[in-house]
Structure 1
Amino acid sequence: MKKFEEKTIHTEKIFQGKVIDLQIDDVQLPNGKTSKREIVKHPGAVAIIPLTTDNKIIFVEQYRKPLEKSLVEIPAGKLEVEESPEDTAIRELEEETGYTTKRLQYITSFYTSPGFANELMYLYVADDLVKMEHPPKGDEDEFVELIMLTLDEAKELVEKGRIHDAKTNYAILYLEMLELRKRC
């Protein structure tokens, strides 16, 4: 057994949903004792930083029921079965913003909540945006409003708690790092 590895002894599937599955694993710990782990299984997701030609970032505002409030976020969405992260990024960009691009740049991927979930999120930058004449319809239960902000305006919303999710904060830090590099 690797230094910190927890060996799964038994898995009990609790729930299978449209977005997540839940399970409880009995595990053997590195010290030989056993414990339980509540695990959220997720197919993965993408997030996109859409940049306009006039140095604005396209955000979406949407209501987040688990938080009981609206947040301003970068566009994002769940991977569909047999869909590549790149295809998901373009689809979500089009559905949520009405823009498309032929230039999508992969930035990184990260686990959103590794203490209890396996969701891996892929982050992309999209520029050279084109407004679509007939954008595809988004999810019927998803209501979003577009907000175009400069990097400084986005940082103000972080301070006010309107931007309050990890993927969007990560995106803002990434853009800020790019700005700093340009100055050096």
Structure 2
Amino acid sequence: MTDQPPLMWRTGSKVVYANDWMQVREDEFERTDGSTGIYGVVDKPDFAIVVAEQDGIFHLVEQFRYPIGRRSWEFPMGGWPPGKSGSSLELAQAELREETGFTAGRWQAIAHLYEAAGFCSQGFDVFHATDLTAGDHAREDSEIDMVQGAFTAAQLLAMILDGTIIDSTTIAAYGMWQMLRTAP
């Protein structure tokens, strides 16, 4: 990261849409050359994603994703519901238990990334969970169609390469886990 001064800064802002999960704002900005413009920003709370792995087997969930009109295999992930909060680790633990029923005896924080930094302020924390113990899931109503599956590393990689896994946060989380695992 460099310590260069910002090339643009906000001179005004207004919220143009908001609900319990997100808001969209229009920011007026000025550049260092004096030119001005408007930038649309989606603000959403950060979320957590869990690379749940036990002895080389990865646990994913699949659900219908309305914005893209199709089902998607993903690592367990999510954010706090409106009115609730806690640490990113507590969120990861809650999402793993809620979506898969698993609890984990070991947790490792891997990275904090941003989902779409060109238009969205939302970030996410990547965790690796091991020493898994099975239990009953407690899915939300919006996750009623969710199923879970267990995959080897070879199967997971094949699913990424053949386009079965299309979720960028899942692919980024797996890539970060791989880099951490193989780093000197």
TM-score, length-scaled by structure 1:
0.89
SS in 1 for 2:96: helix
Q: Report what 1:85 is aligned to.
A: 88
How far apart are 1:160 and its partner, in Å?
1.7
- How far apart are the structure 2 equivalents of 1:165 and 1:89? 18
How far apart are 1:161 and its partner, in Å?
0.8
- How far apart are the structure 2 equivalents of 1:83 and 1:15? 26
How far apart are 1:126 and its partner, in Å?
0.3
- How far apart are the structure 1 equivalents of 2:85 and 2:164? 34
Q: Report what 1:65 is aligned to.
A: 66
SS in 1 for 2:78: strand
How far apart are 1:32 and its partner, in Å?
1.0
Task: Indicate yes or no: 2:65 matched with 1:36.
Answer: no
- How far apart are the structure 1 equivalents of 2:132 and 2:28? 48
**RMSD between aligned residues:** 1.8
- How far apart are the structure 1 equivalents of 2:112 and 2:177? 16
Could you give the per-residue CA deviations for residues 52-81 of structure 1, whole angstroms, max 9, x where no partner exists?
2x3200001111111111111111001354
- For structure 1, list consecutive stretches of 5 or more residues without a partner in the other structure: none
How far apart are 1:175 and its partner, in Å?
4.0
Identity of aligned residues (%): 23
SS in 2 for 1:51: strand
- How far apart are the structure 2 equivalents of 1:36 and 1:110? 25
Q: Report what 2:175 is aligned to.
A: 173
How far apart are 1:113 and its partner, in Å?
0.4
Task: Indicate yes or no: 2:87 matched with 1:113.
Answer: no
Could you give the per-residue CA deviations for residues 130-180 of structure 1, whole angstroms, max 9, x where no partner exists?
112x44x22211131101001110111112211112211123223443565
- Which of 164, 170, 174 pairs up with 1:162? 164
- How far apart are the structure 2 equivalents of 1:176 and 1:16? 37
1:46·1:79 contact (CA, 8 Å) conserved in 2? no
1:9·1:25 contact (CA, 8 Å) conserved in 2? yes
1:151·1:172 contact (CA, 8 Å) conserved in 2? no
| Structure 1 residue identity aligned to 2:70 | K
TM-score, length-scaled by structure 2:
0.89
- For structure 2, list consecutive stretches of 5 or more residues without a partner in the other structure: none
Task: Indicate yes or no: 2:22 matched with 1:9.
Answer: no
- How far apart are the structure 2 equivalents of 1:35 and 1:156? 44
- How far apart are the structure 1 equivalents of 2:177 and 2:124? 18
- How far apart are the structure 1 equivalents of 2:153 and 2:180? 11
| Structure 2 residue identity aligned to 1:12 | K
